Amino acid sequence: MRYATLSQTGDLMPTLGLGTWQAPPDVIESTVYKALDLGYRHIDTAFNYNNEEAIGNAIKQWITDGKGTRKDLFITTKLPHVGNRASDVRKFLDLQLSRLQMDYVDLYLIHVPFGFHCNLDTLTPVVKDNGEYDLDMETNHINTWRVMEQCQKEGRIRNLGLSNFNQAQISKIMKHATLKPQVLQVELHAYFQQLELRKFCADNDIVVTAYAPLGSPGAKDHFVNKYNYNPDAFPDLLGHPEVKEIASRHGKTPAQVLLNFLVNQKVVVIPKSTSEKRLKENFDIYDFELMPEEINSLKNLDKGEGGRIFNFLFWKGVEKHPEYPFSVPGAV
Ligand SMILES: NC(=O)c1ccc[n+]([C@@H]2O[C@H](COP(=O)([O-])OP(=O)(O)OC[C@H]3O[C@@H](n4cnc5c(N)ncnc54)[C@H](OP(=O)(O)O)[C@@H]3O)[C@@H](O)[C@H]2O)c1
């Protein structure tokens, strides 16, 4: 395992973690246990994935079975869009820690920069009669961050970060923060390499985590009938001829090539899999080196903004939120 060192705390974050989006509780419990047995030590979850409790069960069992301790693990979870306000941070963190059955998380991220009003019975977004999401126009990142800093001081969060924030939003938090953002988790893969944002993060000692590092092939099923998505949004990165050719040259798989390409550029990767075969495959990425011309041809796959899959426009009306972070396709 290799590690990234986090600013300000010096904590070590494994550069390979297990993603858990789209992994239902009954499946993820045994998957996490298997992954820990295989050597994974970093798990990425979120309130919105509805699987924190199952992940907590697996970790608890693994520790009870004498296979390791809590300190060996790096657990990330995220403050949801429906809790993106100062007055809700403690409520959600408490609930998430109790579901995870832990006293602390290693990393807590604000999941998205915008916020929705929360249905207090279901803890899901309020949706209006016209299908639009009920935006909380009062979202205030600085106030939310201050409460997260307090929770960090109390020891319930070890490190703080952001997800899906743009550069201006991160800068604003840095200006007001006592503990600056240590990690940024964003969509990042060969089709969407985020060079400018990564340079900004490197200059500011922020570790970048790539979500959807394989191009999120499973997102297609999830989004295909949703508002504002069409099948063209999901190019097949794993099936790209150049990626396949590089893989066969090294006796590796396309997924291993795509992950190796990112970790060797100091990017943390969190591929999701619930298959034991692919868990093993995704873990076995450090024993080969891409040649400079191979790295260049992978760099050339970058489509810039055109490679983005996760623009969140499936939440109807989200682009009207003052903190919506991306430029809206088609807008001038
Ligand atoms: N912060 C955010 O807003 C955000 C957004 C999206 C994702 N994330 C996080 O990032 C993680 C990774 O992103 P992701 O799940 O969207 O996409 P991903 O990791 O790029 O791709 C996962 C998909 O690829 C398949 N897969 C995994 N390993 C494979 C392999 N070796 N060969 C072929 N197919 C393989 C998986 O299926 P099987 O399970 O069947 O193997 C799954 O369908 C998420 O799980 C989540 O933890 C965060």
Residue 45 CA: which ligand 1 atom is closest? 47
| Structural domain boundaries, residue 12 | 3-317
CA–centroid distance, residue 13 to ligand 1 (Å): 19
For the cut 70, the answer to whether the pLDDT of residue 332 exceeds it is no
pLDDT digits (tens, 9 = 90+) for 94-107: 999 999 999 999 99
Distance 96 CA to ligand 1 centre (A): 22
* Nearest residue to 72 (alpha-carbon basis) of 35, 112, 36, 124: 36
Q: Please check whether residue 324 is in contact with residue 318, taking contact to mean a CB–CB distance below 8 angstroms.
A: yes
Q: What is the overall mean pLDDT for the chain?
A: 96
- pLDDT of 329 > 70? The answer is no
- Residue 209 within a domain: yes
pLDDT tens digits, one per residue of 200-214: 999 999 999 999 999
Decide if 70 is inside a domain. Answer: yes
Tally of structural domains, the chain: 1
The answer on pLDDT for 294 being more than 70 is yes
Q: Which percentage of the chain shows pLDDT scores above 70?
A: 98
Whichever domain contains 68, its CATH number is: 3.20.20.100
Q: Answer whether 164 contacts ligand 1 (Cβ < 6 A).
A: yes
Task: Spell out a b/e string for 136-172, using b for 16 or more CB atoms within 10 Å of the CB, else e.
Answer: beebebeebbebbbebbeeebbbbbbbbbbbeebbee
Instruction: Scan for tokens 């832990």, then name that residue.
Output: 102
Asked if residue 332 is part of any domain, the answer here is no
Enter the tokens of residue 310: 């996760």
Residue 81 annotated as part of some ligand binding site: no
Q: How many CB atoms lie within 10 A of CB 33?
A: 18
Over the stretch 243-276, which tens digit does the pLDDT of each residue have?
999 999 999 999 999 999 999 999 999 999 999 9
pLDDT in the model for residue 227: 75
Segment 60-89, tens digit of pLDDT: 999 999 999 999 999 999 999 999 999 999
Does residue 322 fall inside a structural domain? no
Per-residue pLDDT of 2-58, as tens digits, reads 999 999 999 999 999 999 999 999 999 999 999 999 999 999 999 999 999 999 999
Instruction: Give the mean pLDDT of 298-302.
Output: 98
pLDDT at position 154 over 60: yes
Domain-embedded: residue 324: no
Q: Is residue 323 part of a domain?
A: no
Is residue 113 domain-resident? yes
215 CB within 6 A, ligand 1: yes
Q: How confident is the model at residue 222 (pLDDT cuts 50, 70, 90)?
A: confident
